[in-house]
C-alpha cells in the first residue's frame, strides 16, 4: 500500500502514468533515504499521510533530489 498513489487508494479515476511517477517517487525516496516516506502505525493514519502528501525529506539530500521527490510525490 505504501507505493500506491493517493488517487489509486481513494478509488478515484486517475492517470496511469501520473500514478506510476508517484510510485517511482516512493521507490526513489527509499533508495536515497534508506527508509520509506510514510511510517504511520495505524492504517487510517497511513492513508491520510499518503492522501495529503505528508512526508519529510531529510536535510542531507541535495537540492535537486529534494525537488525531484517533491515533483514526483506531490
| pLDDT surpassing 70 at residue 2 | no
- Looking at domain 6-73, does it have CATH number 1.10.510.10? yes
Average of pLDDT values for 50-54? 83
* Residues above pLDDT 70, as percent of the chain: 97
Q: Band of the pLDDT at 51, cuts 50, 70, 90?
A: confident
d(CA 65, CA 69): 6
In the block, cell 478515484 appears at: 12
Instruction: Write down the mean pLDDT value for the chain.
Output: 86
| Element (DSSP H or E) covering residue 23 | helix 16-33
59, with CB counted inside 10 A (0-12, 13-18, 19+), is exposed
d(CA 41, CA 14): 27
C-alpha cell at 22: 508517484
Q: Band of the pLDDT at 44, cuts 50, 70, 90?
A: confident
The whole model's pTM is what? 0.79
Amino acid at each position: 500500500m505504501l507505493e500506491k498513489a493517493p488517487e489509486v487508494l481513494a478509488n478515484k479515476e486517475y492517470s496511469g502514468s501520473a500514478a506510476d511517477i508517484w510510485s517511482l517517487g516512493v521507490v526513489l525516496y527509499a533508495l536515497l533515504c534508506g527508509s520509506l516516506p510514510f511510517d504511520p502505525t495505524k492504517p487510517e493514519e497511513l492513508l491520510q499521510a499518503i492522501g495529503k502528501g505528508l512526508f519529510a525529506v531529510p536535510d542531507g539530500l541535495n537540492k535537486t533530489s529534494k525537488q525531484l521527490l517533491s515533483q514526483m510525490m506531490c
